[in-house]
Structure 1
Amino acid sequence: MTFDTQTDSAGTEAQGEILARELAALAHPARLKILRHLSARDACCCREIVEQIDLAQSTVSQHLKVLVEAGLVLYEPENRRSRYTVDRPALARLSREVGSLLSSCCAR
């Protein structure tokens, strides 16, 4: 996403909503811990995260749901367990967008 004045307002608004949803998903310390944990491995299940983070399984599941809905973590059902992976291309795009936003805000 670029913050170009040439972009139509509907497209800019949609991009803004996506960015806001992604940033909101990152705006909780537990979700940041979960994301860091997932980033260090190819994939893992909720139980593995619970073992590393001092939160109840239901709480970890809810945080994972927020990250998945924001498009930052991928969910893959696998038999009785679900596997979660970081969506690295989505996070790389988010990094570029936030960098662009902050640069444009500071460029005066």
Structure 2
Amino acid sequence: MKKRTYSCGLDAAVDVVGGKWKALILWALHHRPLRFGELRRSVSGISEKMLIQQLREMEAYGLVHREVYHQVPPKVEYSLTEFGHSLNTALIPLGEWGEKHMETIEALPRD
């Protein structure tokens, strides 16, 4: 990955969690590790291809740990790293703000 210089902390945080899916994946992994299928069912609307792509990016950022169990049938679990937990903790107030203002946000005009 290319090294990047940020103008502020918010710029850095948005770069790591940007996009529609990363915050939802973080939230789904908040309580316990999940297998790929469980994670896909937990994140409504995400395609398999997009979930794979997002998990790879999040693993590269150090947010998610991928544990492969060498057994039959093969088993892979995804969990949050300490870094991922810290980001999830930072997102909780944003989620609370969204809950509080959901009706207003839903009523906003869309393109």
TM-score by length of 2: 0.57
Query: Is the Cα–Cα contact under 8 Å of residues 46 and 83 in structure 1 kept in the other structure?
Result: yes
Partner of 2:40: 50
Which aligned pairs between 1:1-80 and structure 2 lie closer than 5 A?
23-41=14-32, 43-53=33-43, 54-79=45-70, 80=74
Number of matched residues?
80
Q: Which whole-Å CA distance do the structure 2 matches of 1:58 and 1:81 have between them?
A: 19
Q: 1:83 aligns with which of 77, 84, 87?
A: 77
Shift of 1:81: 2.7
Cα pair distance change 1:24/1:93, threshold 3 Å: closer
Query: Is the Cα–Cα contact under 8 Å of residues 75 and 84 in structure 1 kept in the other structure?
Result: yes
TM-score by length of 1: 0.58
Stretches of structure 1 lacking an aligned partner (at least 5 in a row) = 1-13, 97-108
Cα pair distance change 1:51/1:24, threshold 3 Å: same
Structure with greater contact order relative to length (CA < 8 Å, sep ≥ 6): 1
Partner of 2:94: none
Q: RMSD across aligned C-alpha pairs, in angstroms?
A: 3.0
Stretches of structure 2 lacking an aligned partner (at least 5 in a row) = 91-111
Displaced runs of 4+ in structure 1, greater than 3 A? 14-17, 19-23, 93-96
Query: Is the Cα–Cα contact under 8 Å of residues 45 and 82 in structure 1 kept in the other structure?
Result: yes
Cα pair distance change 1:38/1:94, threshold 3 Å: closer
Structure with the bigger percentage of helix: 1
Shift of 1:22: 6.4
